[in-house]
Amino acid sequence: MNRLLDFRKPLILASASPRRRQLLSQLNLEFEVRVARIDEEKLARGLQPRDYVMKLAQSKAAAIARDAGDAWVIGADTIVVLDNNIINKPADADEACAMLRRLSGRTHQVYSGFAIIDAGTGASLADYRRTDVEFRELDEDEIRDYVAGGSPLDKAGAYGIQDDFGAVFVREVRGCYYNVVGLPLELLYRRLRECLTTGITAE
């Protein structure tokens, strides 16, 4: 239990991502995981990256909040953006290889958004962070070995910065590292602490 984050309410993480579960655990919070099924594509089509991730985070949290009683629900979403195009999860190994070839030697952006909903009152807030990630030039051997290992297939942009290979693809990070893993931990922690004194309030 984190003495500085004692909500006295149940906390629910509305995300299927094992990485987000692990990150939220790093805040020493006790929480339950419930997975919302929403049509991501349809909900956020055409939105700018920052609005896209906050919208999806909000939708995931809201879908769980409906039956959550008097709990706080956290939803989150992460996308990879290159040249203003959103890169989603690869459909198969070939697409994963193609995504990594595009990211090779370039800097892309990772946006992670989160929403916190008080299911009891309906009050909510959303926020996001952007992190720039610079890849070094990758060679075909590395790309094929990484994809053959299977790790990139469930990840936006076809890489995990915390993975074995993912870690050595990244020359430089500018911003919150954990944002790239799936949650902007420092920002989320600050917003949660603010909520303790002011309650959940949107800007």
Binding site for its own copies (CB under 8 A): 3-4, 26-28, 136, 141-142, 145, 161, 163-164, 167-178, 185-186, 189-190
Do the beta carbons of residue 154 and residue 168 sit within 8 Å? no
The yes-or-no answer on residue 92 being catalytic is no
Question: Shortest distance, CB of residue 201 to its own copies, whole angstroms?
Answer: 21
Token pair for residue 110? 């990772």
Nearer to its own copies, 70 or 186 (CB): 186
Do the beta carbons of residue 5 and residue 189 sit within 8 Å? yes
Question: Shortest distance, CB of residue 169 to its own copies, whole angstroms?
Answer: 7
Nearer to its own copies, 101 or 190 (CB): 190
Token pair for residue 68? 């959550």
Q: Helix (H, G, I), strand (E, B), or coil: what is residue 152?
A: helix
**Which secondary-structure segment (H or E) carries 113?**
strand 107-118
Do the beta carbons of residue 160 and residue 166 sit within 8 Å? yes
Instruction: Phi first, then psi: give them for residue 82, nearest 5 degrees.
Output: -130, 125
Question: Shortest distance, CB of residue 191 to its own copies, whole angstroms?
Answer: 11
Question: Considering 77, 83, 139, 163, which one is annotated as catalytic?
Answer: 77
Question: Shortest distance, CB of residue 45 to its own copies, whole angstroms?
Answer: 31
Nearer to its own copies, 9 or 171 (CB): 171
Token pair for residue 146? 């990484």
Nearer to its own copies, 94 or 172 (CB): 172
CA angle 93, 99, 102 (to 5 degrees): 145
Question: Hey, which residues are catalytic here?
Answer: 77
